[in-house]
Structure 1
């Protein structure tokens, strides 16, 4: 357990680092991976998302806080430390979120101007025993900042933005935020969410409040007893098992079949609802006392009734198992996990994961949308078409485990906002983390270190969907950190970050997400 806790502490620092990696990291100075990402949206419109260059520091055993800070709560301590460190007025800093566990505190803040937050100017601090052990920020110069009173009404820009993004504004009310741009200016923006459930798109749009132009987006979507495929198995060909009482009540105190208000007898509960088509289209127990004994028949099409029930059951079991496991290593209510009822333990509730199996809106893929804490994560699992009969992505565990890890990393990076990991390199980090956590679940102990292949079952290809197996052997996988400079796609970048020898030390089960360049 101590080794695993060391691993997850590394994850905490890694996701703090992910929103503050620019100037402190050894990237080439001319690289734009860390600050830019061009997105093609809706009807072919291109928007270049920007995150200001960042700095990040770690302090080994820690640096003592000023005595005037030590008696403060985490909110006041965070604001006081950041304003002191950056020599800015405390009115320029607002506490966003934070939590404390195992004697360590993790805090997230934003830069503000005239009481309005700067969406992409953020800071994070890690404290331990009244010491600062890590600090990062991307605060910006505000000498070229727009007036804080809009000259364009938000209701005038919503229809145009909906048309561009080919969706509709959802129920979340618009806000007013500043947004730092690549030219050094800071725009005032109307901010609202635009969704298209049929197409599976979900954006947070930033529209200039003085010109009405779409200036940036946050893309919330990342392009991964019960008869199930146990969580430590990868492929349905490894064999289904009837698993009894797999829930961990230390992680899910009401069990898996409670939505926080009432008990259920289907594939819905406090942590997840697994369905096909509509959220109400779940799988019911096959016998009394919560027995879900449906056997998936790979010789038949995925959409035959018993296979649909088996798919929903596996999805429900897998996401719950993931929830309970990661909860033990710190992905809790206070650190922005996904639950309807947070049991008074912090964070925002009403956000269990929705996993749609055999989703009709796509094929040969899967995705996960991570909105802010308090809004449900959305996972879509598709059918894969390389074989006859076709194959169901939710029956290859590495794919849904990869996808729900996007929820973990997008929530924890940036303090529950879902807005970080948007630049090209940061997106690659997210893809790499998703692969490595899927790999981690497939290992039963620290000596069980074998090559790992993503997507081999659904594609019917022993090479899988990545360019090389993940391996500790340089001859099996020759990718090196220096290869990132030649890549411009997040999954390819993620492969390099994941395969780096310092990232796959399964012999100690300690993961390092901060590699040295090769």
Structure 2
């Protein structure tokens, strides 16, 4: 250790001791005096240790994370966060296990730590374990073993207690195993007696982005010649980073579908990245001329082997990353430089933007060098963890992921290619090129490697539906030979249809969706060698009709992959997993988002939406996630069930919809749960913009969007480990108290209550997604004083809430009400304050107002009675 690092470590260690002296007594006193409030027994708080202590510059409070222990052994995820101000505990997110000692039957393992590695490898089918070697003994049954032939990283093994759903707590070995394919970074607890896996969670969050009938697929890995980047160091030069420039989809442009590339010069933020994006030593001048630096190392992984150093584009001594981009019919490798440059840019932007709101060194952010800034008070200092961002990763397809280990270890982002089949009809009435209508199947030959041109032929048999392709009975074999078979999707497995077509000499298969829209065909086969695609019902049925009318359709099928690194929203989403994992529970514990009602996907969707907002957007602008990777219009839903909008007739999600997010096998769709939370956060963003306006300065702006971004980051630090919706809601409310003296409490409650997360709502068991209690009520006067919400009658049980749509409108608007509003005056005013519509009546259900006589422009809708005052901007086109 060099002298500078030694002194830093020593200072941090002394600070940690000082912390213990200053705050230990305050925590003990609070826990002892609040056992009933915390729902704990006196014995439950006797033994704990501090794992993190973080001072937040934004809220001016100290977040302390304490780990529950029993006889020196930690209880997995029993990490409570306490917020202190002026040496007093002001907020607690409790995750301690109640009546712990009575639930523990054993404190001594019978299974050896090294044998636990073998047990995990067998149960997860990770391959043969070899070369198990103890590398380090950290004490108290805490070990580090070699990679043992099954892991990319050394395997840590620690003795813990694992709470189970039945209320019991079992002694367990906790192992960290980073699979060789890089897809999963397992955090596993195995019974310390039997070796059976009790629970596991994945540090590598795999965002399969599947919706409805889409099925996640992995195409065969295509091996390419490996080209390694040299570690390029450049001669130091004063202010060298001021010369850097990048040709990218500059924010707020979300993807190639949303706008064009442009040159950005020196886009780093001087506070978050004081030495630029290519520095690592904290002295003027860059260390690297490639897409590597203090925050991110973006590299190619087109062989899917997760090498430490892969190919990276070189900007030369001028750091000029201006590379050409031509995606039209081109293989992804031809534009890898442009792709990796964009991945490097967005990842660094995410680092720099969210640094302003509190994802900084002390809070466990991702940096190779903390530049001597205050580090989280864990020991040793926790830098050395810049993001490893793998572009065009060949270990997967139609996917992306982000693996977040604890502070001080490198996270890894994997950005994959997305299949996008192109159908070009060369003859007949449907002649033309069709993009956005087809997907390649997860099996069969790749169209990227094997484009096909041939005539179409209906695959008809003698069944009840002769175009299902499920039976050889009456099959027109001669008509299929040398042609592309056209089949409807229902009746039998996709692989059976395609196999039957192949057996009868078809050269490719088109499967037509039996429902509106398009879908992705799943399935596995080692015998299918021809390409197969699925097409939308609209295009497919038009083909069928043309063929039935006797037309000859010659079709060219090609596969041009879409590069996920060009979708800034997806890159931001993945990086966002790292933010939420490091902030909930503190940087020393990244397992707090492993319960069934966890909201990680929602926070990540929000991060992507927030940084791609544009000045012209409105609260009803439709925002999809991943519309580029689905070849959709920018107003599409993308990879979620609904687009994000405050218009509840378009996105109707409410809290009770969480129970409907099951996958049919007892597990939960984390994307489904997350998108409900993101809908609420997006409503909050627009509620705050309505109050404070929009500011396009994402770093230091003062608009409602900036204030919401701050609430979200500060709220993450306050969110309890293993939290559900209610805990996360309360954390945002607490953040507003700390940041803004609670001036936005009414607005925040309105937003959450509108979608059923009101005062009386209950998450139930946060490890269940089926036991929520929905409520639309506002808090009582004792909780939310009238001074903070003067315009509302806070003694009523339910806030009278309104949904106004469509907005923008043309000839009419509708007002949907949760409950009846008596004796209300509904009025519309133009921007000069002139009343252009007024009516007094009782409002119930859905009310329609004719606006065809109003000129195009912006108006204010107001609804008032003796207890309610409501207003909303409306736009008439």
TM-score by length of 1: 0.81
Displacement after TM superposition at 1:303 (Å): 2.4
1:98 aligns with 2:126: no
**Which residue of the partner structure matches residue 432 of structure 1?**
602
> 1:229-282, CA deviations, whole angstroms, 9 ceiling, x for partnerless residues?
113210124111111001112112232112348711111111111111233223
> 1:398-445, CA deviations, whole angstroms, 9 ceiling, x for partnerless residues?
11101110000011011121101111211xx11111111110001145
**Which residue of the partner structure matches residue 408 of structure 1?**
579
Equivalent position to 2:327, from 298, 309, 314: 298
1:319 aligns with 2:347: yes
What SS is found at the alignment partner of 1:236?
coil
* TM-aligned CA distance change 1:74 to 1:364, over 3 Å: farther
1:420 aligns with 2:592: yes
* TM-aligned CA distance change 1:289 to 1:79, over 3 Å: farther
Displacement after TM superposition at 1:94 (Å): 1.1
1:288 aligns with 2:317: yes
Are 2:45 and 2:68, in contact at CA under 8 Å, matched by a contact in 1? no
What SS is found at the alignment partner of 1:459?
coil
**Which residue of the partner structure matches residue 229 of structure 1?**
249
What SS is found at the alignment partner of 1:250?
coil
5+ residue gaps, structure 2, are 1-17, 36-41, 127-149, 208-244, 302-306, 377-381, 422-558, 663-668, 690-703, 713-727, 730-751, 757-775, 777-877
Displacement after TM superposition at 1:147 (Å): 2.5
**Which residue of the partner structure matches residue 296 of structure 2?**
272
State the distance in 1 between where 2:186 and 2:678 align: 27
What SS is found at the alignment partner of 2:676?
helix
* TM-aligned CA distance change 1:284 to 1:357, over 3 Å: closer
* TM-aligned CA distance change 1:199 to 1:95, over 3 Å: closer
Displacement after TM superposition at 1:119 (Å): 1.2
Are 1:165 and 1:194, in contact at CA under 8 Å, matched by a contact in 2? no
Displacement after TM superposition at 1:82 (Å): 3.3
State the distance in 1 between where 2:49 and 2:326 align: 54
> 1:471-517, CA deviations, whole angstroms, 9 ceiling, x for partnerless residues?
01122212222211222211111122222374342623244752342
State the distance in 2 between where 1:77 and 1:282 align: 52
> 1:354-383, CA deviations, whole angstroms, 9 ceiling, x for partnerless residues?
111111011111111111111111111110
Are 1:365 and 1:384, in contact at CA under 8 Å, matched by a contact in 2? yes
Are 2:44 and 2:96, in contact at CA under 8 Å, matched by a contact in 1? no
1:258 aligns with 2:291: no
**Which residue of the partner structure matches residue 120 of structure 2?**
161
Displacement after TM superposition at 1:74 (Å): 4.4
**Which residue of the partner structure matches residue 17 of structure 1?**
none
Displacement after TM superposition at 1:76 (Å): 5.4
5+ residue gaps, structure 1, are 1-68
1:184 aligns with 2:167: yes
* TM-aligned CA distance change 1:83 to 1:197, over 3 Å: farther
Are 1:78 and 1:107, in contact at CA under 8 Å, matched by a contact in 2? no
1:212 aligns with 2:195: yes
Equivalent residues in 2 for 1:354-433, closer than 5 Å: 354-387=388-421, 388-416=559-587, 417-426=589-598, 429-433=599-603
**Which residue of the partner structure matches residue 63 of structure 1?**
none
* TM-aligned CA distance change 1:409 to 1:210, over 3 Å: same
1:193 aligns with 2:176: yes
Displacement after TM superposition at 1:468 (Å): 1.3
State the distance in 2 between where 1:423 and 1:469 align: 25
Displacement after TM superposition at 1:351 (Å): 1.1
> 1:212-236, CA deviations, whole angstroms, 9 ceiling, x for partnerless residues?
2211112112126111111321012
TM-score by length of 2: 0.49
**Stretch of structure 1 that moved more, 285-294 or 269-278:** 285-294
* TM-aligned CA distance change 1:356 to 1:83, over 3 Å: farther
Q: Rg: which structure is higher? A: 2
